[in-house]
């Protein structure tokens, strides 16, 4: 009998918009020497690529091949689409809205699935998104549901945008965050949800450092048993 092939370990970090999961996931990946998957960036890229191709975010049939054939490269902090840098466009509020809109379509989600799974490389992966624990990596070694109160998240996003020299309005940001929470958690395809086996980490009153420590501590605990 041959032994089953064991896949590299995955830490799945899911949660709502602007919960800090991206920063926490990146820091955890760095600490462990793991790869990092920002799955939200893929949905953002589909929205940006669709815009560039003149395809409406409501057109599921036309979006599916765009998702499946995205010509994307992540290089350090830069994101390239069709060989051009799109980092700032991908992080814009417009792309946030587009990502959340195209993400409702099952054909878009299916088109991105294999690409996400391909990030699972030795020695391991930290993946952040909405359905990392439920759909993409259901066998993740550790599942974290990272959240924070909506107004705390709006304030964090506000500070990020201002720090980048971009325009920001707190009231509009809070409204956008609530609308995205609603869309991401109410859709029928892979909605944002905490799986039963995920650990809830509320960062409303927690610093990034403390959240990173909490995840690393949990990971240590599950890998030592």
Is the separation of the CB atoms in 130 and 189 below 8 Å? no
Residue spans of alpha helices (H) in the chain: 21-32, 39-53, 60-68, 87-91, 93-102, 106-117, 150-163, 170-186, 208-223
Q: Is the Cβ of residue 39 or residue 203 nearer to ligand DC in the bound state?
A: 39
d(CA 88, CA 96): 12
24 in contact with ligand DC (CB under 6 A): no
Which residue is associated with the tokens 């099952």?
A: 106
Among residues 52, 57, 92, 88, which one has the least CA distance to residue 70? 52
39: contact with ligand DC by CB under 6 A: yes
The residue number with the shortest CB distance to ligand DC is 40
Bridge-based pairing of strands 125-129 and 78-81 is unpaired
Establish if 27 lies at the interface with ligand DC (CB under 6 A): no
CB of 180 to ligand DC, least distance (A): 5
Query: Does residue 130 touch ligand DC according to CB under 6 A?
Result: yes
- According to CB under 6 A, which one of 9, 20, 40, 124 is a site residue for ligand DC? 40
For β-strands 78-81 and 84-85, DSSP reports them as: antiparallel
Stretch of 37-45, 61-69, 143-151, 213-221 lying at the interface with ligand DC (CB under 6 A):
37-45
Q: Which of 25, 120, 129, 146 binds ligand DC (CB under 6 A)?
A: 129
Query: Among residues 57 and 219, whose Cβ is nearest to ligand DC?
Result: 57
- Name the DSSP letter for residue 134: I
Given the rule CB under 6 A, which residues bind ligand DC?
17, 39-40, 43-44, 96, 99-100, 103, 129-131, 180, 184
């Amino acid at each position: 009998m041959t032994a089953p092939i064991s896949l590299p370990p995955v830490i799945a970090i899911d949660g709502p918009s602007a919960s800090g999961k991206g920063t926490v996931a990146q820091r955890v990946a760095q600490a462990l020497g793991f790869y990092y998957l920002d799955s939200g960036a893929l949905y953002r890229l589909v929205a940006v690529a669709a815009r560039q191709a003149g395809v409406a975010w409501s057109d599921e049939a036309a979006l599916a091949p765009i998702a499946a054939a995205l010509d994307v490269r992540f290089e350090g902090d830069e994101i390239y689409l069709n060989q051009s840098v799109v980092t700032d466009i991908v992080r814009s509020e417009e792309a946030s809205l587009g990502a959340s809109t195209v993400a409702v379509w099952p054909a878009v989600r299916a088109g991105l699935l294999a690409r996400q799974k391909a990030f699972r490389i030795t020695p391991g992966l930290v993946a952040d998104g909405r359905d990392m624990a439920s759909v993409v990596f259901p066998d993740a070694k550790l599942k974290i549901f990272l959240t924070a109160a909506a107004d705390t998240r709006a304030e964090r996003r506000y500070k990020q945008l201002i720090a980048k020299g971009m325009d920001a309005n707190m009231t509009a940001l809070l409204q956008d965050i609530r609308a995205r929470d609603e869309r991401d958690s109410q859709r029928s395809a892979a909605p944002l949800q905490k799986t039963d086996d995920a650990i809830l980490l509320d960062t409303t009153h927690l610093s990034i450092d403390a959240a990173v420590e909490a995840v690393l501590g949990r990971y240590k605990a599950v890998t030592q048993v």
